[in-house]
Amino acid sequence: MRRGWSGIPLFYAVKDVGTRVSVLIAARNEEQNIARTIDCLLAQDFPKTLLEIIIVDDHSTDRTSSIVSSYADRGVQLICLNVGDSMNSYKKYAISQAIEKSQGEIIVTTDADCRMGPDWLKTIVQYFEQHQSYMVSSPVVYSEESSFFEELQTLEFLYLIGLGAAGIGNGVPTTCNGANLAYRRDVFYEMDGFKGIDELASGDDELFLHKVAEKYANRIGFCKSIAAIVYTDAKPDLRSFISQRKRWASKSTKYKDKKVVFIGVVIWCFNLALITSLLYFIFQLPYCNWVLLTAFVFKIIAEFLFMIPLTRFADRVSLLKFLPLLSIVHSFYIVYIGLAGNIGKYDWKGRSVN
């Protein structure tokens, strides 16, 4: 995986772009964040004639719609969903509605609580043009942490973004993040949009990536550029963090590529074995001590080797000091989320979904 990451060259935008782009955001109860995100989009160093911004309000009960409407004179378009409790995957439906209304050749999705620099869009679109890509994933990084818990999330999230990039670098795309994802509009329709994955609340990013990868894996790229980073916030407490990760994990057994599912199961079993060994260690059964210590040492070494270039890229090398602790805690997290994410329902912004 480190080879996959390192094999992706750094990318720099060096010329003007000429492709029309639609930036789409599905928002629900985001009155605290949406204005800042819109301001970042309007501040892009990108030809205004080639940019449209469409925000879909997903049944918000706060001031999200009115805040978005206040930007109408600056070209920001608002779509308000009105479908009640008739579906499970509101976000996919919201994105599909926005794409139907859009005019851009390239669709770029991000979230309502994200921030980006002025060269973000130009960099991604130029990557598209230079590589003739059909789909491009770009980095997402947590920032503005206010607690130790949020710093741990930043390190763990960098790990996830790195795995997604490494998979693309190795020619086997497996994961991406919808907060910084782009694809051609015609490819979206060629894939029949989200058809076949629309019964799941989550998966507008990863599961759609898999649909594209089935046919065009060699046309999927990762824009490894500082200018292409989208910044967002870690979850402030354990409850919201668990809810988010249960939502992400809910799609893990739905992958069409069963090799990816198999790898996930193997990783889950390995972490369960680590926890079991730890229990043996606590109860002082000495013949298992060397197994536990050796496994954890190898796990931490492997993760250090992978995370060093990732933290350098994101300028967060100082977080590596937390890796040994995170490596241990992560085993418990993986085992719990692997089960909880595939059993029952979870809450998302006041809505209970499967």
The end-to-end CA distance of the chain, in Å, is 32
Residues 275 and 201 in one domain: no
Mean pLDDT throughout 347-353? 60
Element housing 158 (H / E): helix 148-169
Indicate whether 342 pLDDT > 80.
no
Distance CA 333, CA 39 (A): 36
| Residue-level pLDDT at 9 | 97
- Residue 244 makes CB contacts below 8 A (sequence gap 6+) with 235
Indicate whether 316 pLDDT > 60.
yes
The 10s digit of each residue's pLDDT in 177-218 is 999 999 999 999 999 999 988 777 667 899 999 999 999 999
| Residue-level pLDDT at 354 | 57
| Neighbour tally for 198: CB within 10 Å | 18
Residues 82 and 185 in one domain: yes
Residue 216 half-sphere exposure toward CB, CA atoms < 13 A: 18
- Report the chain's mean pLDDT, rounded to a whole number: 90
Residues 19 and 154 in one domain: yes
Q: Give the CA angle between residues 261, 267, 268 to the nearest 5°.
A: 90
Mean pLDDT throughout 133-139? 98
Distance CA 231, CA 40 (A): 11
| Residue-level pLDDT at 349 | 62
Sign of CA dihedral 175, 241, 341, 113: negative
Residues 211 and 332 in one domain: no
Residues 143 and 176 in one domain: yes
Residues 278 and 238 in one domain: no
Distance CA 152, CA 236 (A): 12
Which carries the bigger pLDDT value, residue 175 or residue 197? Answer: 175
Residues 317 and 215 in one domain: no
The 10s digit of each residue's pLDDT in 78-131 is 999 988 666 667 899 999 999 999 999 999 999 999 999 999 999 999 999 999
Does a structural domain hold residue 253?
A: no
Mean pLDDT throughout 156-173? 96
| Neighbour tally for 38: CB within 10 Å | 22
Indicate whether 346 pLDDT > 60.
no
Does a structural domain hold residue 310?
A: yes
> At 285, is the pLDDT very low, low, confident or very high (cuts 50, 70, 90)?
low
Residue written as token pair 């190898």 = 298
Residues 239 and 143 in one domain: yes
| Residues above pLDDT 90, as percent of the chain | 73
**What b/e sequence results for 313-324 when a residue is b if at least 16 CB atoms lie within 10 Å of its CB, and e otherwise?**
bbebeebbebbe
| Residue-level pLDDT at 84 | 67
Residue-number span of the structural domain to which 349 is assigned: 258-353
CATH number of the domain encompassing residue 43: 3.90.550.10
> At 260, is the pLDDT very low, low, confident or very high (cuts 50, 70, 90)?
confident
Distance CA 207, CA 199 (A): 12
Mean pLDDT throughout 285-290? 64
3-state secondary structure of 45: coil
Distance CA 79, CA 54 (A): 7
Q: 101, 105, 55: which is closest to 77 by C-alpha? A: 55
Residues 99 and 222 in one domain: yes
| Residue-level pLDDT at 291 | 75
| Residue-level pLDDT at 227 | 97
Residues 294 and 154 in one domain: no
How many structural domains is the chain composed of? 2
| Residue-level pLDDT at 15 | 84
Distance CA 194, CA 196 (A): 6
